[in-house]
Structure 1
Amino acid sequence: MSIATGTRLGQYEVQDFIGQGAMGLVYRAYHAQLERTGAVKVMQAMTPDPDTVARFRHEAQAIAKLRHPNIVDVYDFGEFQGTPYMIVEYIPGGSLAAKMNQSRPDQPSALRYMRGIAAGLDYAHGHGVVHRDVKPANVLLTADDTPVLADFGLAKLLQGSSLKSMTGVTTGTPAYMAPEQVTGSQVGPAADRYSLATIAYEMLTGVIPFDGEALMELLYAQVHRYPRAPSSRNSVLGPQTDEVIMRGLAKDPAARWESCAAFVDALAGALSAATPARPALAKTMVMASPIASTVPIGGVAVVEHAAPPEPATVAVAYPSPIGRDSAPSRKRLRRLNRRLVLGIAAVLVLLLVLGLCEAALAATTITVNPDRVVRGDTVAVTAKHVPANQVGEIQLWSVVHTYPFQADANGNVALEMTVPRDIALGDHMVKICWKNSCPAQAPLRVVSGVAEAAPTPVANATPPATPGVTTPPPGATPTATPSHASGSTPGSTPTPTSRPTSAPTPSPTPTQNPCPTSSQAAAVTTSPATVIAGVTTVTVTGQNFTPNKTVILNYYLGTSLKKTWTAPVGCNGGFTTTFKPAALEIGSAKVTANDGNGRFASATFSILA
């Protein structure tokens, strides 16, 4: 839908067409009484049904109350021919995305942009508003290069709406989308902080964290993979910068920075620490002079002019006591210097060897037991020498399946991993990974359950016959077999003493399984539906699982694995177990149950403060 020039939208008159955004067309409009120019955003991506329009009005009112130098002002909103529109502050300076496409900003400029974006986001979060679509294209730049956040809350307006045309939404947003947005979990301020860390990563390295990925691979990576450390893309950055940004990109929302300002402050400190100080470099250069001065130079003092204020850098040549006949002394000094150099080299080699030995002793190890399984089996994965309390994931290759873990305070990891039933047969690899690195791996072979099954003994099998002896079947009357009489002559006809007679062989009576597996799908329920963190005990009940098996349960808060435990399955295929979420575990939660025999189910519930 286009709007003709001169059309009046409230007190604003449409002047000309500016362009097309994610939500629809954008026009320039003018308010004559206020002598103010605004930008009209026509929400063509929204279906103009009554519920959607009502939700648009509610969200627009909340956004219009925000007043901050780093947030675009909302002037008015309404509907034109049934389609919602919003009139916002007109900022003609372009976007941060356009500027980043021209060149990567230097560190001071990047920090200045980040501080402005962080200030706007923290202000909005304090008023209960989450942006949900923070990206460089939604950061506009004023005439004095001040960053201003646009399109606040428009991503939320799209939720539940029948989308018509979303050009740019599905291709631009996922690169900056938090894991909880990808999985459809509860979204809060932490999602905006994740997007802010993504922008910081891009401004400091020149690429987004998951560069070169297709859409589906990118969405998968946001939830299951860790990006490369920023310093691996820009060598100027140090490990402190890596730690700050990687915390901002944590998969668990609770593990991220507590505010946008805290993230930017930590980033500024890390970048400052990574910048080498010039005085330190000068002192390092001067330290070479005393070594050179150990060789006598004609018995005169030589002053190093590189750093006159520092007394320690003054080098005085050692005077020769024998004047010109100093050749023996020079030779003796050369021998001493040679021995000194060899001694230092030997010490360095020894330290290097000791360091390598220590590193080898402390290297991460991983074991898989058993290492030969069939599809659907459960294996125990253990690892040692992992950083204390490290969060990461166990990966099963070749097609990647991930299992999150958290090491204990001693650096040990132990979890049970169910081999997918659709995995290919053959050799696979189990890897332990964190911070974009997989330091250890172990082999795992998946074989066919039929080929590996042991022969089943038959109840009525006949034992091997003894040569010359005929064993009658059960129920048969033993009879003599035809044989030649003793002393008979060749050619005589043997006379049988009796005919073999037998009764029918009885069939084994089938034994009924006292604990049959239900033909219905496995199911899990939790109660109560709403839980108070740190107070309510959650009861998990399962039905239609494999009888007499052990079910593995996982409790997730959002996408973060919080607890793993087991429960026995009864003869009726059911189980019951309980657990209590911690006091700070608030949000959308899920419990999964897997008996390792192809029966899997899950249930969701909410945790309130």
Structure 2
Amino acid sequence: MDWVRGGKLGHGSFGTVNLAIPRSRNAQIPPLMAVKSCGVSRSDSLVNEKFILDELRDCPEIIRCLGESFSYENGEKLYNVLLEYAGGGDLADRLKSDERLPEFEVRQYTKDILEGLNYIHKFGYVHCDIKPQNILLDKNGGAKIADFGLAKRAGREKMGVFGCELKGTVLYMSPEMVASIEQGPPADIWALGCVVSEMVTGAPAWRCSDVAGLLMRISGGADVPEVPGNLSDEGKDFLEKCFDKNPSTRWTAEMLLNHPFVDGDQDFDDCVTLKDRQKYVVSTSPRCPFDFPDWASSVTCSITSLPPSDFTLDPDSRLRPESNSTISPAERLRELVTVDRNFDWDADDWMTIRL
């Protein structure tokens, strides 16, 4: 694929990310892409990421890989992985702009992330670095998991403070990950809980600036992140399932997808404040002239009184009183639109007109 490098978007775990534009239009290639690049000599992790993304290519909640290429730039040979471009930025930027999100939005993002994690885990992989910076948002408001630079096969290696190098982001590490136990799918679920808490409060789940002290809190005792008090009961229960210190009893992604926090209809009034409702309200198109909601127009009606209910309309007069009207509203409307014409209302050849 022939493409042109655009502006810088940021850094991944093992590469720089830029916009990319294809030189020629193709129905199979989007007009905008992202390209993650690094020097060939240090491209092992990026090659591994490309391999994993190819295996996970059929999941819409995971950023798609569009191809790979090599290039020579500024005297260095680069390995490039072309990726789907998510135009909504990442979840971390979303939190910076709004600090905390309304719960109905948290539920939707959480469900998308769970769909992606369930797919990842079923293929035998662990992401190992779930955090807001690695959750990308598309232009339709959906969430997609990105940056598989630390991803690995479940059960392949152990990591911890002693012996092996500790990889990942400390604020989102699970107790078993810090305590040198094999890192598996439950570690991603713990990290998801930290992300959900951060979406609700606008701040990291752990309130600790000392890394060594934080590692001790995560790995030792019964200490877990505080569950936000402004979260619904369903949300609190969901986080308790994520923050189970025992990875063997912690709920899986598949189990959490059936949790009421993300599954089924939500009560709009229970999880959206008035301010949020005004900002995010979604209306449906009216089906008739009388179907507009009472907030649809601010124009004040100039009619101060209505004609008596026994008035009707015929071809010879405007409003004529009836001494004892028994005409139904439907019949009155038919008189209004047909005047002195006779129509067969039961005919089969009527044409529906939509305005």
Specify if TM > 0.5. Answer: yes
* One of 246, 255, 262 as aligned partner of 1:252: 246
Summarize the Cα distance change of 1:125–1:214 in structure 2 as closer, same or farther, 3 Å threshold.
same
Letter in 1 for 2:179: T
Cα distance in 2 for partners of 1:133, 1:97 equals: 14
1:62 is aligned to 2:59:
no
Aligned to 1:99: 94
2:121/2:185 contact within 8 Å kept: yes
Cα deviation digits, residues 294-328 of structure 1 (max 9, x gap): xxxxxxxxxxxxxxxxxxxxxxxxxxxxxxxxxxx
Where 2:126 maps in the other structure, the secondary structure is coil
Aligned to 1:48: 41
Letter in 2 for 1:252: N
Letter in 1 for 2:209: E
1:127 is aligned to 2:123:
yes
2:14/2:46 contact within 8 Å kept: no
Cα distance in 2 for partners of 1:193, 1:110 equals: 16
1:16 is aligned to 2:7:
yes
Cα distance in 1 for partners of 2:231, 2:52 equals: 42
Unmatched 5+ stretches in structure 2: 158-165, 272-355
Letter in 2 for 1:40: V
* Structure 1 residue 214, shift from structure 2 partner: 2.0
1:41/1:87 contact within 8 Å kept: yes
Letter in 2 for 1:86: V
Summarize the Cα distance change of 1:141–1:270 in structure 2 as closer, same or farther, 3 Å threshold.
closer
Letter in 1 for 2:14: M
Kindly report which structure 2 residues correspond to 1:150-299, keeping only aligned pairs within 5 A, or say none: 150-152=146-148, 154-156=149-151, 173-225=169-221, 226-230=223-227, 233-235=228-230, 237-238=232-233, 241-260=235-254, 262=256, 265-268=259-262
1:114/1:264 contact within 8 Å kept: no
TM-score, with length taken from structure 1: 0.37
1:94/1:140 contact within 8 Å kept: yes
1:257/1:263 contact within 8 Å kept: no
Summarize the Cα distance change of 1:227–1:173 in structure 2 as closer, same or farther, 3 Å threshold.
same
1:193/1:260 contact within 8 Å kept: no
Kindly report which structure 2 residues correspond to 1:551-566, keeping only aligned pairs within 5 A, or say none: none
Cα distance in 2 for partners of 1:215, 1:264 equals: 35
Cα distance in 2 for partners of 1:276, 1:48 equals: 54
Aligned to 2:22: 31
Cα distance in 2 for partners of 1:228, 1:134 equals: 16
Aligned to 1:110: 106
Cα distance in 2 for partners of 1:135, 1:260 equals: 19
Aligned to 1:138: 134
Cα distance in 2 for partners of 1:242, 1:88 equals: 35
* Structure 1 residue 107, shift from structure 2 partner: 1.1
1:237/1:271 contact within 8 Å kept: no
* Structure 1 residue 119, shift from structure 2 partner: 0.7
Cα deviation digits, residues 509-546 of structure 1 (max 9, x gap): xxxxxxxxxxxxxxxxxxxxxxxxxxxxxxxxxxxxxx
Aligned to 1:286: none
Where 2:5 maps in the other structure, the secondary structure is strand
Cα deviation digits, residues 112-167 of structure 1 (max 9, x gap): 11111111111122222321111111111111111111113x1147x99xxxxxxx
Could you say which structure has the greater relative contact order, defined with CA pairs below 8 angstroms and 6 or more residues apart?
2
Kindly report which structure 2 residues correspond to 1:337-376, keeping only aligned pairs within 5 A, or say none: none
Cα distance in 1 for partners of 2:59, 2:263 equals: 26
Kindly report which structure 2 residues correspond to 1:80-91, keeping only aligned pairs within 5 A, or say none: 80=71, 81-91=76-86
2:128/2:187 contact within 8 Å kept: yes
Where 1:98 maps in the other structure, the secondary structure is helix
Cα distance in 2 for partners of 1:241, 1:222 equals: 22
Cα distance in 2 for partners of 1:179, 1:68 equals: 29
Summarize the Cα distance change of 1:270–1:77 in structure 2 as closer, same or farther, 3 Å threshold.
closer
* Structure 1 residue 15, shift from structure 2 partner: 3.0
Summarize the Cα distance change of 1:263–1:257 in structure 2 as closer, same or farther, 3 Å threshold.
farther
Cα RMSD (Å):
3.4
Matched-pair identity in %: 24
Larger Rg: 1 or 2?
1
Where 1:267 maps in the other structure, the secondary structure is coil
2:13/2:147 contact within 8 Å kept: no
Letter in 2 for 1:30: I
Cα distance in 2 for partners of 1:48, 1:184 equals: 30
Cα distance in 2 for partners of 1:228, 1:133 equals: 18
1:140/1:147 contact within 8 Å kept: yes
Cα distance in 1 for partners of 2:101, 2:9 equals: 26
TM-score, with length taken from structure 2: 0.60
* Structure 1 residue 78, shift from structure 2 partner: 4.5
Kindly report which structure 2 residues correspond to 1:446-457, keeping only aligned pairs within 5 A, or say none: none
- Looking at secondary structure, tell me which structure has more strand per residue: 1
Aligned to 1:556: none
Provide the aligned length of Structure 1 versus Structure 2: 248
1:241/1:270 contact within 8 Å kept: no
Letter in 2 for 1:176: Y
* Structure 1 residue 272, shift from structure 2 partner: 7.0
Cα deviation digits, residues 190-221 of structure 1 (max 9, x gap): 11111111111222333322123322222222
Summarize the Cα distance change of 1:270–1:219 in structure 2 as closer, same or farther, 3 Å threshold.
farther
* Structure 1 residue 260, shift from structure 2 partner: 4.9
Kindly report which structure 2 residues correspond to 1:172-571, keeping only aligned pairs within 5 A, or say none: 173-225=169-221, 226-230=223-227, 233-235=228-230, 237-238=232-233, 241-260=235-254, 262=256, 265-268=259-262
Cα distance in 1 for partners of 2:124, 2:82 equals: 22
Letter in 1 for 2:259: D
* Structure 1 residue 269, shift from structure 2 partner: 7.7
2:90/2:137 contact within 8 Å kept: yes
1:148 is aligned to 2:150:
no
